[in-house]
Amino acid sequence: MDNSGPKKTCWESIQDFFTSAKFLIYMGHALSTWGDRMWNFAVAVFLVELYGNSLLLTAVYGLVVAGSVLLLGAIIGDWVDRNPRLKVAQTSLLVQNSCVIACGILLMVVFQFKEQLVELYNGWILTTCYILVITIANIANLASTATSITIQRDWVVVVAGQDSSRLADMNATVRIIDQLTNILAPMLVGQIMAFGSHYIGCGFISGWNLCSMCVEYALLWKVYQKTPALAVKAGQKEQQQELKQLSPTRDLENGQSPEESSQPLMNETSLVANPDSPKQTGCCYQVSEPLRTFKSGWAAYYNQNIFFAGMSLAFLYMTVLGFDCITTGYAYTQGLNGSVLSLLMGASAVSGICGTVAFTWVRKKCGLIRTGFISGVAQLSCLMLCVVSVFAPGSPFDLSVSPFQDIYSHLIGENTLPEHTALTIFNATTDAPAEELPPLQSYMSVSLLFAGVIAARVGLWSFDLTVTQLIQENVIESERGVINGVQNSMNYLLDLLHFIMVILAPNQEAFGLLVIISVSFVAMGHIMYFRFAFKSLGSRLFLCCSPEQKVETDDSPSLPTTV
């Protein structure tokens, strides 16, 4: 006689999946990412349009955003660690969407009454509007950073429970959502602005964020209700002591041992305050608290056993080999039009999705740490095509041309710029006469360049997922926010350095040198990861596990809350 319960029907299984906490997180992340991608694309276009087709406001905005995350990443992460999960998620969600809505309304006013604003107080009112737009948009980005840390780096880990494979699948799915929205969302808002106007585009984005905010808020609440472990947060010492006294087995049910649940915060002096101490209630102490948090956050990041893995990921941001405005501008100088570039971006997205799928498969076969090593080798091998493209026929690489020629020409006011410069990049059209394009043989260099960039995305995204999961699994719960905040700061720091590198060598003749420097930084990043991997596994790094072997026994432990 079969004593097992009745099997679920197909409809019941489907219903359970669509009401599960995992699916609700996917839905919330898709809505949040879609709004973020639309706004990030549109705000750059809006700022260029407002300032007379100049990139000045866009450059200022990018500098402010990068600088803010660089300085405040650790502080944001510490705030995530200090407060209850639901409060952090709801607050960051409300702040982010409210700022985008306010910014969209302000931009609508500026677009509608720009001529009148220019005449008021010699244009100072319009300048104030520009400052407000950049400031509010920066606050929205900081709130988005907090949302990313708390949902992708914390909630996902808790929802996955103690299942490392489930965590890997969830990370991969989240990254696929990122890839798809990164293409589809800008396309949608771009079409709205093309067939409507920038005014309509601002209104659409504001309306979208208002509706999305309500839905995301409800989804967060449902996930929180379906996952009781989210209500218990390690690091709150007094609360953990009370929980252990009331229910000694509760920590074990949530995957925590008593020793792990009582793990102190990263800095007891700054995070566990004694309210009776006059030193900690003084004005100077309160003012200097952000500085102490900043210092202790970076110190905690340095002391992590995954420090070199995190640094290796940050070094990958020091590159011009991506589909940003720099590579797009260079492609225009080599004769590629907008249609070809859009196809290349689509191929890049497909390659990235393949990388996320490959990550889950390779991790099951070889383990998490080995997956990062294999991904690094694959990425670096593909990038060799980019190095070859520097010396291939059609490459404008010429070290005899001074990298400061364009800057010097602007300063002295001489019209000595080469035919294809950064100025013509942003004014190029796809309707240029055929005779102005480079000869067919010159496409060999740019073809090799983009072949390498697109192929390398498989290894890049697989490596990114590897480091993300390593941080999730090896950082204690009470430091999860601050460590990921510092990681974001490191990523932005290297990203800033790559823009500075382009500013110092802006002409196309020097782009080959930037390619070589970029590949060198990627190689240094993977050398750091190799050091981390070899220290973790030793000679076993080069011995791939058999399919029957349990990978978790050597390098993929079930999710610990302490190292």
Residue 188's nearest CA partner among 334, 367, 42, 340 is: 42
Rg (CA), the chain: 25
Buried b (16+ CB within 10 A) or exposed e, 171-183: bbbbbbbbbbbbb
Please give the CATH number for the structural domain made up of 305-412+443-539.
1.20.1250.20
**What pTM was computed for the model?**
0.77
All residues at 6 or more sequence positions from 507 whose CB lies less than 8 Å from its CB, including other chains: 401, 403, 405, 406, 418, 421, 422
Residue 20's nearest CA partner among 260, 233, 222, 310 is: 222
Per-residue pLDDT, 537: 86
Contact 356, 176 (CB under 8 A): yes
- d(CA 499, CA 63) in angstroms, rounded, equals 10
DSSP string, 302-320: HTSTTHHHHHHHHHTTS-S
From residue 443, give the alpha-carbon distance in Å to each of 335, 336, 438, 454: 8, 9, 8, 16
Per-residue pLDDT, 113: 83
CATH number assigned to the domain with residue range 13-230, chosen from the 4 options 1.20.1250.20, 3.50.50.60, 3.40.50.9100, 2.40.30.10 = 1.20.1250.20
Contact 190, 201 (CB under 8 A): no
Taking the alpha carbons of 315, 320, 325, 327 in that order, is the dihedral positive or negative?
Answer: negative
424 CB burial (10 A radius; 0-12, 13-18, 19+)? middle
- d(CA 56, CA 48) in angstroms, rounded, equals 8
- d(CA 442, CA 392) in angstroms, rounded, equals 9
DSSP string, 478-543: GGHHHHHHHHHHHHHHHHHHHHHHHHHS-SGGGHHHHHHHHHHHHHHHHHHHHHHHHHHHGGGGGS
- d(CA 116, CA 403) in angstroms, rounded, equals 42
Contact 216, 98 (CB under 8 A): no
- d(CA 133, CA 43) in angstroms, rounded, equals 9
Residue 367's nearest CA partner among 166, 546, 107 is: 546
DSSP string, 397-441: --TTS-TTHHHHHHHHT-----SS-HHHHTT--TT--GGGSPPGG
Backbone angles phi, psi at 315, to 5 degrees: -65, -25
Contact 528, 534 (CB under 8 A): no
Q: What share of the chain is helix, strand, coil (3-state, %, to 5)?
A: 80, 0, 20
Angle (deg, nearest 10), helices 480-504 and 307-315: 30
Residue 440, by phi and psi: left (phi above 0), alpha (psi -120 to 50) or beta?
alpha
Contact 359, 367 (CB under 8 A): no
All residues at 6 or more sequence positions from 277 whose CB lies less than 8 Å from its CB, including other chains: none
Per-residue pLDDT, 287: 67
- d(CA 250, CA 341) in angstroms, rounded, equals 55
Contact 266, 482 (CB under 8 A): yes
Taking the alpha carbons of 377, 382, 386, 392 in that order, is the dihedral positive or negative?
Answer: positive
Taking the alpha carbons of 519, 454, 183, 111 in that order, is the dihedral positive or negative?
Answer: positive
Residue-range domain boundaries for the chain = 13-230, 305-412+443-539
All residues at 6 or more sequence positions from 343 whose CB lies less than 8 Å from its CB, including other chains: none
Let me know how many helices (H) and strands (E) the chain has, helices first: 24, 0
Per-residue pLDDT, 338: 67
DSSP string, 180-238: HHHHHHHHHHHHHHHHS-HHHHHHHHHHHHHHHHHHHHHHHHHHHHH-GGGG--TT-HH
Q: Kindly report the length of the chain.
A: 563
Residue 28's nearest CA partner among 173, 206, 229 is: 173
Number of Cβ within 10 Å of residue 112's Cβ equals 12
Helices (H), 113-163: 114-119, 124-150, 156-160
Structure tokens at 527: 């050398």
Contact 404, 354 (CB under 8 A): no
Structure tokens at 443: 């496409």
Q: Which residue has the tokens 């995530």?
A: 80
User: pLDDT tens digits for the chain (563 residues)?
Assistant: 455 556 777 777 788 788 888 999 999 999 999 999 889 888 878 887 777 766 677 778 888 888 899 889 999 999 999 999 999 999 999 999 999 999 999 999 888 888 788 777 777 888 888 899 999 999 999 999 999 999 988 999 999 987 888 999 999 999 999 888 888 888 888 888 888 888 898 999 999 999 999 999 999 999 999 999 998 876 554 444 433 443 443 343 444 443 333 333 334 333 344 444 555 556 776 667 878 888 888 999 999 999 999 999 999 999 988 877 778 778 877 877 767 877 888 888 889 999 999 999 999 988 999 999 999 999 999 999 999 999 988 888 887 766 555 555 544 544 443 443 333 333 333 344 444 444 444 788 999 999 999 999 999 999 999 999 999 999 998 888 999 999 999 999 998 888 888 878 878 888 899 999 999 999 999 999 999 999 988 877 777 554 334 333 344 444 444 33
Structure tokens at 407: 């800057």
13-230 and 305-412+443-539, same CATH topology:
yes
Residue type, 464: D
Angle (deg, nearest 10), helices 124-150 and 85-112: 150
